[in-house]
């Protein structure tokens, strides 16, 4: 066994998002979100559930902060619900919504935990969707006003700000594949949506810097490295194609001020763009989008293996047996995490990186002894932290890690059945139970180190976190 020590001052945290944990969708003047609407249509959420109550974090946040404190966290990443601040998307501010986040932030600070809020983690006010949502360029102004209202109220206490979570998911899951709200299946629209999200990010950067003291601003991108299934030219091109549309389409504008030419050509060939003059891109946009950032937030879960199938289509394939996949059907592939980190560092050199999400869905019951022995999650987290440690040793400037997630929650179109939490949440009683992974993570945080042996976490005398 050997212990891998992280750099002094390394930030350890957990992450959540508003729509996935808050519930209280009608409390204190909150407006409807696109996920409230999407989940109300039968068939959209696989287990038929809704986010109305979720983890009731809106009312139970003091208990959640106690659990974060028990974990020993340095920081907590959460998101702000736009429909709580502007129930109609723009116009009149709902100060009760801001009051909630002020209470949360003050509670975190009092517990010695630094807040890392994200302004947009997918819960768009439905009223803005009624005007076209992210496909309508006027949303960029509404987003800048929203960013201003939030940072004006909290900017004296909060200095790390994330504009958006995973623009790829918003654009493609929501507007091309249709699995996420608002459920559109229009690849051309998805490209305009992607551009307006990135533009709103760039517009918000100077607003946040103006309103928040010592602000550090970044964006969160999901990164999924692509591997060819074989060495054939076709499969290699399929991997290039996936990387272009999933990773580089969202990273190049932010860090290089341009869209990747090969991926633009792919979209022209597919008929999703008529020419490289993209109609939704106006003069000056890419300069705004590429405003220098203080950090990149990187989310990593798995890799994609790509091939061209018998029908000439580029498809992702599974290369390990079903039982080795997580409950999301994602391969456990820590080497891909190292590859993502090296690629991002070499191609874009962000001044610093936080791992803003990483984790795995596995469902374990509560045992007779009251414990949840989620060993596969511990293995997943350990192997990914070892890969991260290796990246840091190789010079990638990663300064923090946020496990997804603090607690089991509403996993979007997959409802409550996919469980990513360090804490289990009983959806009937709202009781939280620390899983073995929580005990394990607590040891990692305390030691600022991860060891490479398969030992179980120290449980001490008590199995229950101090309440």
Binding of ligand FCB at residue 198 (CB under 6 A)?
no
The total number of residues written for the chain in this structure: 467
313: left (phi over 0), alpha (psi -120 to 50) or beta: beta
What is the widest separation between alpha-carbon atoms in the chain?
A: 66
- Distance CA(168)–CA(182), nearest Å, equals 14
Binding of ligand FCB at residue 17 (CB under 6 A)?
yes
Binding of ligand FCB at residue 169 (CB under 6 A)?
yes
> Comparing C-alpha atoms, which of 154, 136, 52, 22 is closest to residue 90?
136
Tokens of 96: 């009760």
Q: Residue holding tokens 């293996």?
A: 305
> Comparing C-alpha atoms, which of 252, 290, 285, 36 is closest to residue 140?
285
What number of chain residues touch ligand FCB (CB under 6 A)?
Answer: 12
Residue among 404, 439, 440, 441 that touches ligand FCB (CB under 6 A)? 404
Name all contacts of 430-434 with Cβ < 8 Å and 24+ positions apart: 430/55, 430/56, 430/60, 432/63, 432/64, 432/67, 432/407, 433/366, 433/370, 433/372, 434/67, 434/70, 434/372, 434/463, 434/464, 434/465
DSSP code for 33? B
| Residues in 97-156 at the binding interface with ligand FCB, rule: CB under 6 A | none
- Distance CA(306)–CA(237), nearest Å, equals 9
Q: Residue holding tokens 């974990």?
A: 71
Binding of ligand FCB at residue 436 (CB under 6 A)?
no
Binding of ligand FCB at residue 410 (CB under 6 A)?
no
Q: Which is nearer to ligand FCB, 119 or 169 (CB)?
A: 169
- Distance CA(465)–CA(467), nearest Å, equals 6
Nearest distance, CB of residue 394 and ligand FCB, angstroms: 26
Binding of ligand FCB at residue 273 (CB under 6 A)?
no
Stretch that binds ligand FCB, among 150-158, 164-172, 225-233, 337-345 (CB under 6 A): 164-172
Stretch that binds ligand FCB, among 88-96, 162-170, 231-239, 251-259 (CB under 6 A): 162-170
Stretch that binds ligand FCB, among 163-171, 184-192, 225-233, 305-313 (CB under 6 A): 163-171
Q: Residue 222's beta-bridge partner residues?
A: 299
Active site residue 63: no
Binding of ligand FCB at residue 408 (CB under 6 A)?
no
Binding of ligand FCB at residue 250 (CB under 6 A)?
no
| Residues in 38-77 at the binding interface with ligand FCB, rule: CB under 6 A | none
Binding of ligand FCB at residue 357 (CB under 6 A)?
yes
Active site residue 357: yes
Residue among 412, 423, 439, 441 that touches ligand FCB (CB under 6 A)? 412
- Distance CA(246)–CA(443), nearest Å, equals 35
Binding mask 305-344 for ligand FCB (x = CB under 6 A): ----------------------------------------
Residue among 67, 165, 358, 433 that touches ligand FCB (CB under 6 A)? 165
CA-based Rg of the chain, rounded to a whole angstrom? 21
Binding of ligand FCB at residue 81 (CB under 6 A)?
no
DSSP code for 27? G
Q: Which is nearer to ligand FCB, 56 or 166 (CB)?
A: 166
| From 166, 176, 211, 411, active-site residue | 166
Known catalytic residues? 166, 357
Interface contacts to ligand FCB, rule CB under 6 A: 17, 20, 165-166, 169, 222, 299, 357, 404, 411-412, 420
């Amino acid at each position: 066994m050997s212990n891998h020590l992280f750099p002094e001052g390394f930030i350890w945290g957990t992450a959540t998002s508003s729509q996935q944990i808050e519930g209280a969708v009608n409390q204190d003047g909150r407006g409807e979100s696109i996920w409230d609407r999407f989940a109300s249509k039968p068939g959209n959420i696989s287990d038929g559930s809704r986010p109305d109550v979720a983890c009731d974090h809106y009312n139970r946040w003091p208990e959640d902060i106690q659990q974060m404190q028990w974990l020993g966290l340095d920081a907590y990443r959460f998101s702000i619900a736009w429909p709580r601040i502007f129930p109609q998307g723009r116009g009149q501010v709902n100060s009760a919504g801001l009051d909630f986040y002020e209470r949360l932030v003050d509670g975190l600070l009092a517990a010695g935990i630094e807040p890392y809020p994200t302004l947009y983690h997918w819960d768009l006010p439905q009223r803005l969707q009624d005007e076209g949502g992210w496909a309508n360029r006027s949303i960029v102004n509404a987003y800048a006003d929203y960013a201003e209202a939030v940072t004006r109220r909290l900017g004296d206490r909060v200095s790390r700000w994330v504009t958006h979570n995973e623009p790829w998911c918003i654009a493609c899951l929501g507007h091309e594949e249709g699995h996420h709200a608002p459920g559109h299946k229009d690849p051309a629209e998805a490209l305009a949506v992607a551009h307006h999200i990135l533009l709103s990010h760039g517009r918000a950067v100077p607003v946040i810097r103006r309103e928040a003291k010592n602000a550090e601003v970044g964006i969160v991108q999901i990164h999924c490295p692509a591997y060819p299934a074989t060495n054939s030219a076709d499969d290699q091109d399929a991997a290039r194609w996936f990387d272009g549309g999933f990773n580089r389409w969202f990273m190049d504008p932010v860090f290089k001020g341009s869209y990747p030419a090969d991926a633009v050509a792919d979209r022209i060939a597919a008929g999703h763009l008529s020419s490289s003059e993209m109609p939704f891109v106006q003069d000056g946009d890419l300069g705004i989008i590429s405003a220098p950032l203080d950090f990149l937030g990187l989310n990593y879960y798995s890799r994609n293996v790509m091939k061209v199938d018998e029908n000439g289509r580029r498809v992702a394939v599974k290369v390990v047996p079903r039982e080795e996949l997580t409950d999301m059907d994602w391969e456990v592939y820590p080497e891909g995490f190292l590859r993502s980190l090296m690629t991002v560092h070499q191609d874009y050199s962000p001044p610093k990186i936080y791992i803003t999400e990483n984790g795995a869905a596995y469902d374990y019951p509560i045992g007779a002894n009251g414990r949840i022995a989620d060993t596969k999650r511990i293995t997943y987290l350990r192997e990914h932290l070892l890969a991260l440690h290796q990246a840091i040793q190789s010079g990638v400037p990663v300064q923090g890690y946020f496990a997804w997630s603090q607690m089991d929650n509403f996993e979007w179109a997959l409802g409550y059945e996919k469980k990513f939490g360090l804490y289990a949440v009983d959806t009937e009683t709202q009781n939280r139970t620390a899983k073995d992974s929580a005990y394990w993570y607590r040891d990692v945080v305390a030691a600022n180190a991860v060891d490479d042996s398969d030992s179980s976490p120290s449980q001490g005398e008590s199995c229950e976190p101090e309440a």
